[in-house]
Amino acid sequence: MEKKYSVDKTDQEWKQQLSAEEYYVLRQKGTERPYTGKFDLHFENGDYHCKGCNAKLFESEHKFESGCGWPSFDQAVEGAIEYIRDTSHGMLRTETVCANCGGHLGHVFNDGPKATTGQRYCINSVSIDFDPKE
């Protein structure tokens, strides 16, 4: 049985709202190519929101340069992320999805900055939007 989220749309509704690449990542658990996303080296002050439902996911003070080719954060907004065991591609990973709409964001790893949380949220740029703070 598939989990129901606060934002619940049909595939057709998602396809109308999202670009083809956004749909591929958010709804089909795809991955953008490394070093191609607009938020990889983006370090402005503000908040990052889910591209599917606009839920606040990350704050800029938790973003860091990991060198992995995708936007990286050491902490998510409390309650904004759902964590799912992912055994695809012969690996054991933890998938991150938006807790509000179920959109695939990326994965979280335990190789982030040890001075903070030790976590690295590796997030696809196409799965998020940015809201600058003045």
Known catalytic residues are 122
The pair of structure tokens assigned to 78 is 């409390």
CB 120 within 8 A of CB 107: no
Lookup result for tokens 């600058």: 132
Please tell me what DSSP assigns to residue 124: -
Per-residue exposure over 54-83, b if at least 16 CB sit within 10 Å of its own CB, e if not: ebebbbbebbeebeeebbbbbbbbeebbee
The torsion of the CA quartet 9, 51, 54, 38, rounded to 10 degrees, works out to 180
